Chains A and B, each alone.
Chain A
Amino acid sequence: MSAMDGLAGVREKRSSRRSGPNGMDRRAYGFLLLAVLLSFWELSSRAGWIVSAYWPPVSHIFAAAIAQLAGGEILLALASTLRRAAIGYIAASVAGIVLGIVLARNRVLRYGLLPLIEIVRPMPTPAVIPPLILFLGVDDALKIFIVALASFFPIFSNTFTGVAAIDDTLIQTARTFRTSTVRLLARVVFPATLPAIAAGLRTATSLCLVVAVLSEMIAGSSGIGYYLVETQYAMRPDLMYAAVLYLAATGYALNRIFLALEARMVPWMGRS
């Protein structure tokens, strides 16, 4: 269980303990609260309690969201953000898993590379962007690199600690059978580390979207992060809030897809 799991994991356990209808009742209050808050927002704007150009009624935001969808611009922006996030994520996964396994198993490489990784790790992602702009420009190369850099660390460190925690008997057994190093890594170490790797990948999944958006805000010419800043400058709060809605939905969907994939690929996950 990690901080990324949310309340859902615990909730399932709970509902089996308590009676179902009672739980449903309680959550209904929560949705009622949401509805009250939203209608309060709508009312405050309509009735002119809050006179501000940045406080559009909720209905306007939903209307803007539907118009955006019909216009297609938001889908284009989302697609370009997701493309960058995906490329960076895949690159980070490959690098993180390979380096994590290799560094955990090889002492010389560990002493050589781990200090360098530890130095770069505490750097907040936005701070890396300005110097990288000088080298990579403001195009895809920059954003993909930043996504990859940010996603690399959770994948790497989870893999690394996962390998270190493998039951030594597994490795000794393989060695007894004179398994080659490559085969040992691919057939014994990798599958045994898979749950730890999956945990790192999950953290990186939500991170890659965040970082893609963030890099587009600082150095953008397309994508949803740029769209957000653009609508801020253009004083179109309804479009901006609607874009945030889409972004939230995307983040939620990514997490769900990941959990579904994880359950399929690593079925022994979380059964410890």
Chain B
Amino acid sequence: MSRRRERLGLGLLGLVSPVLVLCIWEFASRLGWTNPVLLPSPSQITAALFALMTSGAIAGPLAHTAGLFVAGYVLAVLIGVGIGIAMATSETLYGLLEPLVEIVRPIPKPALVPVLFLFLGIGKATMLTLVVLAAVFPVLISTFQGVRGLDPVLLETARTFQVSRARTIVSIILPASLPMILAGMRVSLGLALVIVILAEMLAGEDGIGFRILDLERSFQVRDMFAWIVVLVAMGGALTKLFDIAERGLVPWRGRS
């Protein structure tokens, strides 16, 4: 009971400081303490955001960014979990793929953005490849660690009952290593979003990343901040969604 009250109190108290900062910001720009060209007031940004939403201009770039992110992320998770389990369960595949993974993994992924643009041309396929490359390794590594860290008794029990390999993977290995897989997916979530925005900025075609950089270069600062608000909301919403999904999938997590 007291815990719930404390959480409610934290929720209300948590609003105090952001509201305070917004008020100070608003007053500072009303009083002319800040340069309106560089830093518009929160009310101006809200107005720009509102205009963006009512005119429907928000849909195109948002769909571009979200579509790229979702497609890349889902692909990366499927590939990462697949290869991770394969490498953890098969010695041959482990030996075959380990050097390759260890060589590609430490490359800072933003460095691959210009490389792939040159290589595959600027387009959807390239950007998708980039997102997958950035997001796949944390999932792969933690899946691998999760499967390798499984209690051997589980696997030996399955073997005793002559459970088929495919079934062992689906009904034992996958659920048991789910917490680790999700931990890797959480790291990938942020990475994938970073790469999507960066790729859009460097490709200069469409998407929220492109809009933000373009608006900054043409000094349309209010719209730029409005887009940043959209992006923060998107990032926050994705994290929240992930939290909810994780709680639903592994309800026993975080209770230890």
> Which residues of A are at the interface with B, using a C-beta cutoff of 8 A?
1-11, 14, 23, 25-31, 33-34, 37, 54-55, 111-116, 119, 122-128, 130-131, 133-135, 206, 209-210, 213-214, 217-218, 224-225, 228-229, 231-232, 235, 237, 240-241, 243-244, 247-248, 251-252, 255
Structural contact, A27 and B209, CB atoms closer than 8 A: no
Q: Is B101 an interface position by the 8 A CB rule?
A: yes
Q: Are A248 and B107 closer than 8 Å at their CB atoms? A: yes
* Chain B min CB distance to A49 (Å): 15
Interchain CB contact (< 8 A) of A210 among B15, B110, B138: B110
Q: Which 10 A-B pairs have the closest CB atoms?
A: A26-B95, A122-B235, A130-B216, A30-B99, A3-B138, A232-B114, A115-B14, A248-B107, A252-B106, A214-B110
Report which of A54, A131, A247 forms a contact with B228, defined as CB distance below 8 A.
A131
Whether the Cβ atoms of A122 and B232 lie closer than 8 Å is: yes
A127 touches which of B108, B109, B212 (Cβ 8 Å): B212
Closest to B196 in A: A124
The segment from B123-131, B164-172, B182-190 that touches chain A is: B182-190
Q: CB-nearest residue of chain A relative to B137?
A: A3
B92 and A3 form a contact (CB under 8 A): no
User: Which residues on the B side are within 8 Å of A119 (C-beta)?
Assistant: 18, 232, 236
> Which residues of B have CB within 8 Å of A124?
190, 193-194, 196-197, 231, 235
CB of B140 to closest CB in A, whole Å? 9
Alpha-carbon distance between A213 and B111 when the two chains are bound, in angstroms: 7
Residues of B with C-beta under 8 A to A232: 114-115, 117-118
Distance (whole angstroms) from the CB of B249 to the closest CB of chain A: 18
What are 25 of the A-B contact pairs (CB < 8 Å)? A3-B137, A10-B144, A10-B149, A26-B91, A26-B92, A27-B98, A30-B95, A33-B96, A37-B100, A55-B119, A124-B190, A124-B193, A126-B197, A127-B197, A130-B215, A130-B224, A131-B216, A133-B216, A206-B106, A209-B108, A210-B109, A217-B202, A231-B114, A232-B117, A251-B108
- Which residue on chain A has the smallest CB distance to residue B229? A123
Query: Does B43 have its Cβ within 8 Å of any Cβ on chain A?
Result: no
A6 to B213, CA, bound (A): 34
Instruction: Find A213's partner among B17, B100, B110 (CB 8 Å cutoff).
Output: B110
CB of A126 within 8 A of CB of B239, answer no
Smallest CB gap from A120: residue in B = B232
Q: Mark B215-232, 1 if CB is under 8 A from A, else 0.
A: 110000100110010011
- Interface on chain A toward B: helix, strand, loop, or mixed SS? helix
Residues of B within 8 A of A14 (CB): 148
Within the assembled complex, what's the spacing in Å between the Cα atoms of A31 and B102? 11
Give the interface centre of A54, A130, A135, A248 by most chain B CB atoms within 10 Å: A130
Separation of A214 and B92 alpha carbons in the complex (Å): 37
Cβ-defined contact, B18 with A247, below 8 A: no
Interface bits B72-113 vs A (CB < 8 Å: 1, else 0): 000000000000000100011011111111110111111111
B108 close to A210 (CB less than 8 A): yes
A134 & B16 in contact (Cβ 8 Å cutoff): no
| CB of B10 closer than 8 Å to a CB of A | yes
**Segment 1-50 of B: residues with Cβ below 8 Å from A:** 10, 13-18, 21, 38-39
**Apart from A27-B99, A122-B238, A131-B216, what are 10 other A-B pairs with CB-CB below 8 Å?**
A4-B138, A7-B87, A29-B96, A112-B16, A131-B224, A131-B228, A224-B111, A247-B107, A248-B106, A251-B107
A184 to B247, CA, bound (A): 36
> Which residues of chain B are near A248, meaning CB under 8 Å?
103, 106-108, 111
Contact (Cβ within 8 A) B97 A30? yes
Q: Which of B111, B216, B224, B232 contacts A228 (CB 8 A)?
A: B111
A114 → chain B closest CB, angstroms: 7
Instruction: Name the CB-closest residue of B to A253.
Output: B106
